[in-house]
Amino acid sequence: MKAVSVANACLAGGGDRLAWGAGLFALGGFADGVGLTEALSAVVPPKGERVPVHDRGVVLVHGLLMTAGGGEACSDIEHLRAQPELFGDVASDSTLYRTLVGLGAGGAAALLDAAAQVRERLWANADRSGPLVVDIDSTLVEVHSENKQGAAPHYKGGFGFHPMVCSTCDGEPLWIKLRSGNAAANHIEDHLEVLDAAVATLPSADAAGHRRGDGAGLVERSLVVRIDAAGCSPTLAGELAERNIGYVVSARASPVVTAAIRSALGDPSRWHTANSGSKRRHKPVRAQVADLTDLADLSGRPPRTRLVVRREPRHPGAQRSLFESENFRYWGFLTDQPGHPTRLDRLMRKHADAEDAIARLNHSGLARMPFTDWHANSTRAALCALSLMLVGWFQNACLTGPLRRATPKRLRRQLWHLPAAVCRSARRVLLRLPDQHPGAKALLAIAHPR
């Protein structure tokens, strides 16, 4: 195929009537419309006798837009300052820095609590016919400086932080806790702290009855938490029962699980055909699921605890399983939820979506910790989570088709960085979008709905 020649094209200045970031402009307008800017302004009230030049809620929203657009440091806000027609009078990078650092020890909680006020309104008409499922997972953030407070070696041989995140099954972050790199993945107190904080940010109809010591009669909507093997602890299961929270937790290899699987090998009637979930060499995986509760000693766990095991034909390079076998790979989970084992298997397998939520969070700025101060980095981690929340709310409310589930990278390329020609008509500023740009049609559909 013959290449298109651009030999006659050249670069020149003078494009003062062009702007980029039309998608971020729409995202900022959405933040104002849902009340996020107002909620963040209340988080950072003015100090001293003089009113600050820049409202701190507006500064934080600009920080959210900068993060959504791919910014990783306070200096990246200069890209917004260069577009006054779109974003108005944007604060400097030093003002953004002082805002984040000035929030202090309670900065992360303040930002996430402000998001909870918006969530209460956005979830007002949500479908509450089924249980609310949340996921808890942790991730590693590498840093390359020993001067950052709290950075420490982690179990994979690197150096950095080990934050823990609680998110909904749709990938919306509810709470994030920054932890040192050497923090244990199976730390029960951290799981409970993150879960309790996440429950506190839920709308009242979803959080009712799920605080420690609440009676079961207070529950308006059931809540189920999914955790990997780091949460496979009888103590954690008991604490969840105290909160009327159901659980689906990956099982660890143990003599109890091994004995149950061994006892079920000679009983083919126990095994039910399960959703394949994946294909290998264009062939579906022939998976089976069995409820082995009656074959396992679960006396040390809360009542109604069940052991469900899944097996698939073993393939070359398969990872370690719960049971040594030449023919199958086994893994399972513990749960207190009712239902057929195949349905519960589908519920647990969707815990893999938590990895996607973590990946989106890392691509939204979490992968970098730019400050030396611990509290400032904790606040910035919450800012990254809040930025991802804002983007998710915008996608659900305003976008359709593939962009509704698009990744942060695709949104930046196709929507947030959309260029526009700045025109003025009847004392109004018009942003004329290029018709040939793939994101222009989606943005115009938001501005001019049918």
Which structure tokens are listed for 48? 């001293």
Task: Read off the pLDDT band of 257 (50, 70, 90).
Answer: very high
In this structure, are 55 and 38 located in the same domain? yes
In this structure, are 158 and 135 located in the same domain? yes
From the list 350, 310, 346, 348, the residue with the least C-alpha distance to 328 is 310
CB atoms within 10 A of CB 414: 19
In this structure, are 144 and 179 located in the same domain? yes
Q: Any alpha helices (H) in 69-123, and if so which ranges?
A: 78-81, 84-87, 93-102, 107-122
Per the structure, the count of domains in the chain is: 2
Q: What is the pLDDT of residue 312?
A: 86
Q: What is the pLDDT of residue 96?
A: 95
Tell me: the pLDDT tens digits for 27-69? 999 999 999 999 999 988 767 656 677 889 999 999 999 999 9
In a domain, 8, yes or no: no
Tell me: the pLDDT tens digits for 394-410? 999 999 999 999 999 99
Q: Which range, of 12-26, 130-144, 160-174, 265-279, averages the lowest pLDDT? A: 265-279
In whole angstroms, give the CA distance from residue 376 to residue 104: 7
Q: Which range, of 37-51, 88-102, 126-140, 278-292, averages the lowest pLDDT? A: 278-292
Look at residue 5 and tell me whether its pLDDT is greater than 70: no
Helices H, strands E: what count in the chain?
A: 16, 17
Task: Read off the pLDDT band of 292 (50, 70, 90).
Answer: very high
Q: What is the pLDDT of residue 6?
A: 56
Q: What is the pLDDT of residue 1?
A: 47
Which structure tokens are listed for 436? 């040939």
Q: Which of 357, 391, 412 is the last residue of a domain?
A: 357
In this structure, are 163 and 198 located in the same domain? yes
Distances (CA, A) of 409 to 174, 176, 352, 437: 21, 21, 20, 16
In whole angstroms, give the CA distance from residue 362 to residue 54: 29
In this structure, are 238 and 255 located in the same domain? yes
Look at residue 439 and tell me whether its pLDDT is greater than 90: no
Q: What is the pLDDT of residue 284?
A: 58
In a domain, 13, yes or no: no
As a whole number, the mean pLDDT across the chain is 89
Q: Are 427 and 382 in contact (CB under 8 A)?
A: no
| pTM tops 0.85, yes or no | yes
